[in-house]
Amino acid sequence: MQKSTVVEASIALASGIVAASLGSELASHHVSPAAIVTALLAVVSTGLYVAQQLGQGFRSALYTCPVKGCTASIRAKDTSPAELDRLRSIATDHSKHGGPR
């Protein structure tokens, strides 16, 4: 498991703060405890999901084909520099993954 980035930790902290504020506000309006817990879990889990997705984006490389209309792309994570070069050449050379245009 990789360490959290500052961005991931910030988003997780912010979602916790929002959840606490929301819980306090809902409690002041006499909302049932079950509804409060449900809302808090939704806020925190959404924040953690967003943090994880951003973290994955920061830890990976995305290579796309420069040919207009070609949707080929390669996302690489935890690979060697030599493998990144190989994947980059596959993604950016349209003749290696698609027909001639």
In tens digits, the chain (101 residues) has pLDDT values of 566 678 888 999 999 999 999 999 999 999 999 999 999 999 999 999 998 888 777 778 889 999 888 888 898 888 888 999 999 999 988 888 765 54
Q: Is residue 66 located within the same domain as residue 54?
A: no
- Check whether residue 26 and residue 52 sit in a common domain: yes
Residues in the chain: 101
Co-location of 72 and 37 in the same domain: no
Does residue 10 sit in the same domain as residue 39? yes
Q: How far apart are CA 20 and CA 27, in angstroms?
A: 11
Residue 90 lies in a domain: yes
The answer to whether residues 77 and 60 touch, using CB atoms and an 8 Å cutoff, is yes
DSSP symbols for 24-83: HHHHHTT--HHHHHHHHHHHHHHHHHHHHHHHHHHTEEEEE--STT---EEEEES--HHH
> Within this chain, do residues 46 and 88 fall inside the same structural domain, yes or no?
no
pTM beyond 0.75, yes or no: no
Asked if the structure places residue 1 within a domain, the reply is no
Per the structure, the complete domain to which residue 86 belongs is given by: 61-97
The number of distinct structural domains making up the chain is 2
**8 A C-beta contact, residue 60 and residue 67:** no
Residues 48 and 69 in one domain: no
Query: Do 35 and 19 share a structural domain?
Result: yes
